[in-house]
Chains A and B, each alone.
Chain A
Amino acid sequence: MTSAAPQSTLTFPRETFEKLSPHPYLLAHLQQASASSPPTRPNGRTPEQFRTPHINNGSLTHAEGSAVVRIGDTTVVCGIRGEILLASNVAGYRVDKSGTAPSTKPGYNEAEELDLLVPNIELATGCSPAFLPGQPPSTLVQSLSTRIYSLLHSSSLVNGADLRIWYQPPDLSDPDRMRDDEEEDTPEPEVKAFWTLYVDILFISLDGNPFDAAWAAVLSALKDVRLPKAYWDPDREMILCDDSVAESKKLQLNGLPIAVTALVFRAKEAAQSKDKRFWILVDPDTFEETLCDESVTVVVDGEKETKILGISKAGGTTVGSGQMRDIMELAAKRSAQLSRILNT
Chain B
Amino acid sequence: MTNATASSAILSHLHRADGSATFSQNGYTVIGAVNGPIEVQRRDELPVEAAIDVIVRPAAGVGGTRERHLESILQSTLRQIILIHNFPRTLIQVTLQITNTPEDKVAGSKIVQASSHLAILPTLLQTALLALLSASMPLSVIFTSVLIAAHKDGAITSLTPNPSLVGFESADSVHVLAFTLEGKLLLAESQGTFTLDDWDNILEMAGSVCVPKDGADIEGGVRIEETKEDMTTFVKCTLEAKVAQDLHWYT
Contact B199 A308 (CB under 8 A): yes
Cβ contacts under 8 Å, A270 to chain B: 85
Q: Does chain B have a CB within 8 A of A175?
A: no
Instruction: List CB contacts (< 8 Å) of B189-225 with chain A.
Output: 189-196, 199-200, 203, 218
> With A and B bound together, what is the CA distance between A305 and B180 in angstroms?
32
Residues in A neighbouring B184, C-beta threshold 8 A = 317, 320
Of the residues A142, A147, A315, contact of B80 by C-beta under 8 Å: A315
Report the stretch among A28-36, A105-113, A282-290 that lies at the interface. Answer: A105-113
- Once the chains are docked, how many angstroms separate the CA of A102 from the CA of B187? 33
* Alpha-carbon distance A106/B172, docked complex (angstroms): 10
Which of B72, B80, B192 is the one whose CB lies under 8 Å from A293?
B80
Chain A hits for B193, CB < 8 A: 155, 307-309
The answer to whether B80 touches A139 (Cβ under 8 A) is no
**Chain B residues within 8 Å of A149, by CB:** 65
Interface size on B, residues (CB 8 A): 45
Given A105-B109, A106-B170, A272-B140, residue A325 in contact with residue B196 (CB < 8 A): yes
Q: Is B77 an interface residue (CB 8 A)?
A: yes
Are A143 and B117 in touch, CB under 8 angstroms? no
Report how far A312 CA is from B66 CA in the complex, Å: 15
Instruction: Judge whether A293 and B76 touch: CB under 8 Å.
Output: yes
**What A residues does B117 contact at CB under 8 A?**
146, 150
Decide if B199 touches A142 in the complex (CB within 8 Å): no
User: Which residues of B4-24 are within 8 A (CB) of A?
Assistant: none
Q: Are B69's CB and A146's CB within 8 A?
A: yes
Given contacts A147-B69, A150-B117, contact A107 B169 (CB under 8 A): yes
Query: Is the CB–CB distance between B116 and A321 below 8 Å?
Result: no
Evaluate contact between A311 and B108: CB separation under 8 angstroms.
no
1/0 contact trace for B15-41 toward A, CB 8 Å? Answer: 000000000000000000000000000
Per the 8 Å Cβ criterion, residues 312-344 of A in contact with B are: 312-317, 319-321, 324-325, 328
Report which of B166, B185, B190 forms a contact with A319, defined as CB distance below 8 A. B185
Among residues 73 to 109 in chain A, which have CB atoms less than 8 Å away from a CB atom of chain B?
92, 94, 101-102, 105-108
- Secondary structure of the A side of the interface? mixed
Q: Is the CB–CB distance between B186 and A94 below 8 Å?
A: no
User: C-beta contact mask, A24-54 vs B, less than 8 Å → 1, else 0?
Assistant: 0000000000000000000000000000000
Interface 0/1 of A113-147, CB less than 8 Å to B: 10100000000000000000000000110110111
CB distance from B199 to the nearest CB of A (A): 7
Sample of 9 further A-B pairs with CB below 8 A, known A101-B108, A106-B166 = A105-B106, A154-B116, A271-B80, A308-B193, A311-B188, A313-B185, A314-B76, A315-B77, A321-B218
A-B contact pairs, 25 of them (CB 8 A): A94-B108, A102-B107, A106-B169, A139-B72, A140-B72, A143-B65, A143-B68, A146-B65, A146-B68, A150-B116, A150-B191, A154-B191, A271-B80, A272-B140, A313-B185, A313-B188, A314-B77, A314-B188, A316-B186, A317-B80, A317-B180, A317-B184, A321-B185, A321-B200, A321-B203
Name B's A-contacting residues (CB within 8 A): 64-66, 68-69, 71-73, 76-77, 79-80, 85, 106-110, 114, 116-117, 140, 166, 169-171, 175, 180, 184-196, 199-200, 203, 218
